[in-house]
Amino acid sequence: MLAVVFTQKDEFQLKEVKQPKPASGQVLVKVRSTTICGTDVKILHGTVPMVVFPHIPGHEFGGEVAAVEAGVSGLPAGTKVGVEAHTGCGECPRCLEGVYNLCENYGNRQKGHAHIGFTVPGGLAEYCAVPARSVHVLPEGLDYDHGAFTDTVGIVLWAFERAGGVRGSENVAVVGPGALGLLAVQMAKALGAGRVIAIGAASDRRRLEMACWMGADDIVVADPEVNPAQIVRDLTAGRGADLVIEFAGTADAGKYSLEMARRGGRVVLGGATSPGQVLQVDLSVIVRKHLDVFGSMANPRGISGRANALMQKGLVDVTPLITHHLPLSEFSRAWKIFCDREGDPIRVMLHP
């Protein structure tokens, strides 16, 4: 089969490799839609410690069931599915709590853990063998492209649920208008937010404009001359945001997120998933404002199924985020588009 292989740091090949054979409890997925995201760039640069080269990346993909192995039922061949990236061991205390994204046996295949596209081969290939527990049957009306967002939309929904969701008609600030941030804007509205404020850098102007027609009531362009936290306070009658969702992944974004939250507010930090972003903040900002600060990673507790339901109901629309479609055979071109920001890509979709 054709697959993208990260052969070593900063080097990849598009090559023929052996088609995977699913093990007991696994499903072989024929990949139909698969994306490139910023985490894949970090993986190739060698900044994601759990990845060992050579490696087949890809953790956002949808497709159809091609075959199943022993122990799998209810997934006949041809079933349209989306795939969730995390599968825990199912036995450690964290997995038993349902937060299998924090599995204490992370990386231990013998104990049943799998992080698709990270510790096991991913979906930037024609086929991918995945644990049946990671597979979500797509609801009526969703196609393979939607399936590729099963994991992504779940990540955003979990960030909101970490902070108890949107309470009443709260003011919600979303920091970072990438794919996750733009989904967060839509989700904030879907969950009942009164006012949604999207914050990004000057280079994000096009994405901030997109945030407006996705539901943002206000946008804030942060630059060296502008304190976005002060603008958010000005937009909320001096109070600040009730809930801040951060998906920018920078230390500055984390700092501003804490500053723009109101007294007694909630802040979810979900952008910095790789080492290197060191947050320097006056702790009294958190203590004196009585802030609830949450870290959020991935999407446990089967939340991706509920995320798919939001897409099915039209409350979250992923289609505008797919800025490019190319065949898998043109991966090199797709990678250049994404990394060089040609045409301001958000998600580059590949079709094996």
CB 128 within 8 A of CB 20: yes
At the topology level, CATH places domain 156-295 in: Rossmann fold (3.40.50)
Q: Note the pLDDT tens digit of each residue in 143-153.
A: 999 999 999 99
Q: How confident is the model at residue 206 (pLDDT cuts 50, 70, 90)?
A: very high
Residue 202 CB neighbour total at 10 angstroms: 11
Is the confidence at residue 273, as pLDDT, over 80? no
Distance of CA 160 to the CA centre of its chain: 13
- CA gap 190, 51 in Å, rounded: 35
- Measured CA to CA in angstroms, residue 289 lies from 46, 231, 286 at distances of 38, 18, 5
The whole-chain average pLDDT of the chain stands at 96
With a CB cutoff of 8 Å and minimum separation 6, the contacts of 248 are 175, 176, 178, 181, 200, 271
Q: Where in the chain is the domain with CATH 3.90.180.10?
A: 2-149+318-351
31 compared with 304, residue with greater pLDDT: 31
Is the confidence at residue 276, as pLDDT, over 90? no
* Strand ranges (E), 80-210: 80-83, 86-87, 114-115, 127-131, 135-137, 171-175, 195-201
Q: What is the DSSP letter of 35?
A: E
User: Could you tell me the two tokens for 105?
Assistant: 């046996």
At the topology level, CATH places domain 2-149+318-351 in: Quinone Oxidoreductase; Chain A, domain 1 (3.90.180)
**pTM, rounded to two decimals:** 0.95
Helix axes 228-235, 251-260, angle to 10 degrees: 30
Q: Which of 128, 109, 85 is nearest to 300 (CA)?
A: 85
